[in-house]
Chain A
Amino acid sequence: MMRFLLLAVALAAAPALAQEKIGKPVRLVVGFAAGGSVDLVARLIAERLSPRLGQPVLVENKPGGFVRVAIDAVRSATPDGTTLLLTSSTPLVVTPHAYAKMPYDAQRDLVPVARLVNGQQGFALGPMSGARSWPEYVKWVKANPDKAFFASSGVGSMGHLVGVVLANTSGVRIEHVAYKGSGNYNAELMGGTVSAGISGIADASEFHRTGKLRIVATSGAARSRALPDVPTFKELGVPMDLSLWYGVFAPAGTPNAVVELLGRELVAIVGAPDLAERFVTLGLDPAAAGPKAAAETLAADYARWRPIVQQAGFKLD
């Protein structure tokens, strides 16, 4: 009886399995220009996804509007698994709360395929303040209130938000200066015109390793595997648990079978030890999860971020 049932189930599933194959080249759309850390992750993934799907997977850079152009391109594409978006969670779960009007709705327009990695923000100090740790920096800020600025890679970025929350919860009055991408402010940080910078760990980790900058704290719940000797803000007495994750998304309406297939492959890719090592050096912690878990995380994050953003007074339009 059992065997008959199993056979029936298998036969029923067969047509679904047969439809899974993606018959055309796949576009993996990225919301930033080539060379940045998101683009790098996308290329590493694309390289390994290609042989698994038997189709070329091409990274397409569509920068602009803080991932808006990329999201728009993906959500209006044919939902057959040939157009995917690789992005951090920020524009999907944080940014919508900062704008009164949004041209997209992540939960309605996109379907999560997989979560890839978690990432934290690092609080990096340059030579301007002379401080080598968070307590020292706090002291410096109190003594130099008019020079206490922190740089972020853009208005509305995670680094910006982390800085605002940090100022509110710790009572340390640091003010925000926005730049276009971390490349633009790393020079000033090292040159001593701005005292601190907050952005993804990858952006500063190389400088931290060579001693030009010093990452003194991270924004997440637990220490990053890339920087095991850098404490989290929580450990330093500032309650904070702000991190983001990178995920792959497909346009809403993509058939379940395709989503499941892609999800399976992506999770397997991230699980490979050598790729995991690469991610760690980029400051990203592998945290692979399939479509269902990714969707739950997306919904949970969306709800979680609303009070944080509103309390921080983060309003951009």
Chain B
Amino acid sequence: MPGQKFGPAWFPGLIAVGLAICGAALVYKGARRTVPWVAFPEWMQRAQSRAAVIGVLAGLLFYILAADTLGFHLTAIAIVGLWVRILGASWRVTVAVGVLAPIVIHLAFYKLLRVPLPWGLLERWAF
């Protein structure tokens, strides 16, 4: 390209070199201590915590995969319900929050801020 003396690979290349140097320094520092290579956080031993974290991550993944097809509202009700329940709330609270939260978001984001949340399956009843 006329006039480009420093190409596009220059900057990332520099960063990579920096990372390599720092990485080496960290490995050097770490190798001198006697700590296991891989350590799992201790909450993974506790069933409730483990389930809760998996539930949160699964819900997010589900949203990413399903929101466009199912639509925001249905997906949100499902995942909020999952999260509230898995964090230990009663069924009544789960249903209440699971239905109310998406409604609040709909009013705030779709109506007020004009963010085009997908309707998905509910397309026909879109308002």
A58 touches B116 (CB 8 A): yes
Closest A residue to B8 using CB positions = A317
Closest B residue to A312 using CB positions = B2
State how many residues of chain A have any CB contact under 8 Å with chain B. 14
Closest B residue to A174 using CB positions = B3
Of the A-B pairs whose beta carbons lie under 8 Å apart in the complex, a sample of 18, sorted by A's number, is A24-B126, A25-B116, A27-B116, A58-B114, A58-B116, A60-B116, A155-B1, A164-B2, A175-B2, A175-B3, A176-B2, A176-B3, A177-B3, A313-B1, A313-B2, A314-B1, A315-B1, A316-B1
How far is A155 from B8 in the complex, measured between Cα atoms in Å? Answer: 12
- B residues less than 8 Å from A25 (CB atoms): 116
The smallest C-beta distance from A101 to any residue of chain B, in angstroms, reads 15
How far is A24 from B3 in the complex, measured between Cα atoms in Å? Answer: 48
How far is A30 from B102 in the complex, measured between Cα atoms in Å? Answer: 28
How far is A130 from B2 in the complex, measured between Cα atoms in Å? Answer: 26
A-B contact count (CB 8 A): 18
Interface string of A295-316 (1 = CB under 8 A from B): 0000000000000000001111
- A residues less than 8 Å from B2 (CB atoms): 164, 175-176, 313
Interface residues of A in 1-36 (CB under 8 A from B): 24-25, 27
Closest A residue to B119 using CB positions = A24
A-to-B contact residues, CB < 8 Å: 24-25, 27, 58, 60, 155, 164, 175-177, 313-316
The smallest C-beta distance from A39 to any residue of chain B, in angstroms, reads 15
Closest B residue to A98 using CB positions = B1
- A residues less than 8 Å from B1 (CB atoms): 155, 313-316
What DSSP secondary structure best describes chain B's contact surface?
A: loop
Size bin of chain B's contact surface: under 10
The smallest C-beta distance from A79 to any residue of chain B, in angstroms, reads 15
Interface residues of B in 92-125 (CB under 8 A from A): 114, 116
Closest B residue to A155 using CB positions = B1
Instruction: For the A-B complex with A25-B116, A60-B116, A313-B1 known, give 6 more contacts whose Cβ atoms are closer than 8 Å.
Output: A24-B126, A58-B114, A58-B116, A176-B2, A313-B2, A316-B1
- A residues less than 8 Å from B116 (CB atoms): 25, 27, 58, 60
The smallest C-beta distance from A160 to any residue of chain B, in angstroms, reads 10
The smallest C-beta distance from B118 to any residue of chain A, in angstroms, reads 11
How far is A314 from B1 in the complex, measured between Cα atoms in Å? Answer: 7
The smallest C-beta distance from A180 to any residue of chain B, in angstroms, reads 15
Closest B residue to A23 using CB positions = B126
- A residues less than 8 Å from B3 (CB atoms): 175-177
Query: Which of B2, B116, B126 gathers the greatest number of chain A CB atoms within 10 Å?
Result: B2
How far is A314 from B4 in the complex, measured between Cα atoms in Å? Answer: 12
- A residues less than 8 Å from B126 (CB atoms): 24
How far is A27 from B1 in the complex, measured between Cα atoms in Å? Answer: 37
How far is A171 from B24 in the complex, measured between Cα atoms in Å? Answer: 52
- B residues less than 8 Å from A164 (CB atoms): 2
Interface string of B1-26 (1 = CB under 8 A from A): 11100000000000000000000000
How far is A310 from B99 in the complex, measured between Cα atoms in Å? Answer: 58
The smallest C-beta distance from A30 to any residue of chain B, in angstroms, reads 14
- A residues less than 8 Å from B114 (CB atoms): 58
How far is A46 from B105 in the complex, measured between Cα atoms in Å? Answer: 26
The smallest C-beta distance from A100 to any residue of chain B, in angstroms, reads 13
The smallest C-beta distance from A187 to any residue of chain B, in angstroms, reads 21
The smallest C-beta distance from A254 to any residue of chain B, in angstroms, reads 18
Closest B residue to A316 using CB positions = B1
How far is A177 from B4 in the complex, measured between Cα atoms in Å? Answer: 9
How far is A8 from B71 in the complex, measured between Cα atoms in Å? Answer: 43
How far is A137 from B114 in the complex, measured between Cα atoms in Å? Answer: 49
The smallest C-beta distance from A110 to any residue of chain B, in angstroms, reads 20
Closest B residue to A313 using CB positions = B2
Query: Which of B1, B114, B126 gathers the greatest number of chain A CB atoms within 10 Å?
Result: B1
